[in-house]
Amino acid sequence: MAYYIGLMSGTSMDAIDVALLDFSNDNCKLIASHSHAFPYELKQKLQQLLQSETFSLHDFGRLDVELGRTFADAANQLIQQQQVDKSKILAIGSHGQTVFHAPYSTPPFSLQISDPNCISQFTGITTVADFRRRDIAAGGQGAPLVPAFHNGFFRSPQHNRVILNIGGIANITMLAADQKKLISGFDTGPGNCLLDEWCQQHLNQPYDKNGAWAATGTINDKLLQQLLADDYFSLAAPKSTGREYFNLHWIKQHSANDSPENIQATLTQLSIESISRAIEEHSHDCDEVYVCGGGAFNARLMLGLKNRLTNIKLKTTTELGIDPEWVEAAAFAWLAKQTLENKPGNIAEVTGASANLVLGGIYPA
Ligand SMILES: Nc1ncnc2c1ncn2[C@@H]1O[C@H](COP(=O)(O)OP(=O)(O)O)[C@@H](O)[C@H]1O
Ligand SMILES: [Mg+2]
């Protein structure tokens, strides 16, 4: 047995995903999972922090520790539910919560909080965290970091595959059947983030369930073209982005003057179109796309991708053995394993870093 736990909360801030994996014999087996709701007050404080231009260091410090304790609770709940012997878990890999991703600022930085000292203290398990900053220090984007995991467990010698992760931001990993070909990957732009924010503002619901609201609207083609003209979509890879860029303010900048449901339909099509173009341009011989992340549950988004990418089989990662909602947490469990074994976690060609590096900091049990 080689048990590891991955703790992930992405830009959507929908939940803390906890995944327990067994990586024995170089395999990857999802043993158990748990979706840990953010305590309401904590989520509110986090959202306030993300939206404010200024904040107090006192609040920031407290939030870091409160998140660390909550991440520890999340791991402990899964351990209790499954009655796993803690001594069998070799490490926890914690992504933390991104509060700012700024790969293009001078100097560039990416900041994830959720104090890993608290995670190791309150779980009693060695914790690896802060994966992105080493890659940035070495000139990389710090993102995406999931491609190495995708390559390790989802590559096929028969098919040119793309793994498409639709979280708040969407990212793709191109895995050519020819094992000699390099892996590539990048953030394509918005996945669910704009859909969520627009839905929260107009329906007061966290997300557009199954894309049902978008389905009541009509795509505004003029607006769609205007949104697709944003510089991010034509930027050459390596590239990465976040909610600091793609947010309500971004939508309003394009003076979206239409009914809320038509805009929701258009934003859904923006995700579909920007993802599809990225796949077509960077993996023209791709024959299979496997989708993971919460976007895999948005029926409207999935149907749109299927209709748009006509010659490609679109499936979810369930067919590769891990349900869509646990792939990213699984990747961070594996990244912890890589770190403890002194092996690299990034792929320099993907992030643009000067080398493949051992990522993160280790917080011993
Ligand atoms: N049934 C559903 N219908 C539509 N969207 C969904 C559904 N289930 C999940 N989602 C979307 O997935 C998001 C969460 O995806 P996730 O992969 O956890 O993103 P992140 O990594 O940014 O946290 C939700 O915010 C929501 O937009
Ligand atoms: Mg999430």
Q: What is the CATH number of the domain that holds 273?
A: 3.30.420.40
Same structural domain for residues 260 and 288? yes
Ligand 2 center from residue 326 Cα (angstroms)? 9
Same structural domain for residues 311 and 333? no
Cβ atoms of 19 and 329 closer than 8 Å: yes
Closest CA to 275 of 259, 264, 286, 260: 286
Same structural domain for residues 160 and 85? no
Q: What is the mean pLDDT of the chain?
A: 96
Taking CA atoms only, the protein residue closest to ligand 1 atom 10 is: 294
Mean pLDDT on 214-237: 97
Phi/psi for 327 (5° steps) reads: -65, -45
pLDDT in tens, 39-53: 999 999 998 888 888
Please tell me if the CB atom of residue 297 comes closer than 6 angstroms to any atom of ligand 1.
yes
Ligand 1 center from residue 265 Cα (angstroms)? 17
Mean pLDDT on 325-329: 98
Closest CA to 42 of 16, 23, 70: 70
With a cut of 90, say whether residue 357 has pLDDT above it: yes
Same structural domain for residues 155 and 94? no
Same structural domain for residues 133 and 41? yes
Same structural domain for residues 166 and 202? yes
Instruction: Identify the three-state secondary structure at position 115.
Output: coil
With a cut of 90, say whether residue 249 has pLDDT above it: yes
Residue 205 confidence (pLDDT): 97
Cβ atoms of 132 and 100 closer than 8 Å: no
Mean pLDDT on 81-109: 97
Please tell me if the CB atom of residue 326 comes closer than 6 angstroms to any atom of ligand 1.
no
Number of domains composing the chain: 2
Mean pLDDT on 303-318: 97
Ligand 2 center from residue 50 Cα (angstroms)? 16
Which residues does 66 contact at the CB level (< 8 Å), separation at least 6? 42, 45
Mean pLDDT on 195-212: 97
Instruction: Place 215 in a pLDDT band, splitting at 50, 70 and 90.
Output: very high
Among 210-219, 221-230, 256-265, name the one with the lowest average pLDDT.
256-265
Q: Tell me, what amino acid is at 99?
A: V
Residue 54 confidence (pLDDT): 86
With a cut of 80, say whether residue 365 has pLDDT above it: yes
With a cut of 80, say whether residue 256 has pLDDT above it: no
Cβ atoms of 228 and 275 closer than 8 Å: no
Of the chain, the percentage scoring pLDDT greater than 90 comes to 95
Residue with tokens 């173009």: 277
Taking CA atoms only, the protein residue closest to ligand 1 atom 25 is: 12
Enumerate long-range contacts of 228-232, CB under 8 Å, 24 or more apart.
228/270, 228/273, 228/274, 230/189, 232/189
Provide the token pair at 47.
């959202």
Same structural domain for residues 204 and 291? yes
Same structural domain for residues 128 and 213? no
Position in ligand 1 atom list of the atom nearest CA 169: 22
pLDDT in tens, 137-189: 999 999 999 999 999 999 999 999 999 999 999 999 999 999 999 999 999 99
Residue 50 confidence (pLDDT): 85
Domain with 116, as residue range(s), is 3-143+326-363
Residue 52 confidence (pLDDT): 85
Same structural domain for residues 199 and 290? yes
Residue 254 confidence (pLDDT): 85
Same structural domain for residues 156 and 9? no
Residue 184 confidence (pLDDT): 96
Of the chain, the percentage scoring pLDDT greater than 70 comes to 100
H-helix or E-strand containing 129? strand 127-129
Residue 274 confidence (pLDDT): 98
d(C-alpha 154, C-alpha 146), whole Å: 11
Same structural domain for residues 244 and 161? yes
pLDDT in tens, 5-51: 999 999 999 999 999 999 999 999 999 999 999 999 999 999 888 88
Position in ligand 1 atom list of the atom nearest CA 324: 17
Same structural domain for residues 343 and 205? no
Residue 41 confidence (pLDDT): 94
| Most ligand 1 atoms within 8 A of CB, residue of 112, 164, 197, 297 to mutate | 297
Instruction: Place 133 in a pLDDT band, splitting at 50, 70 and 90.
Output: very high
With a cut of 90, say whether residue 259 has pLDDT above it: yes
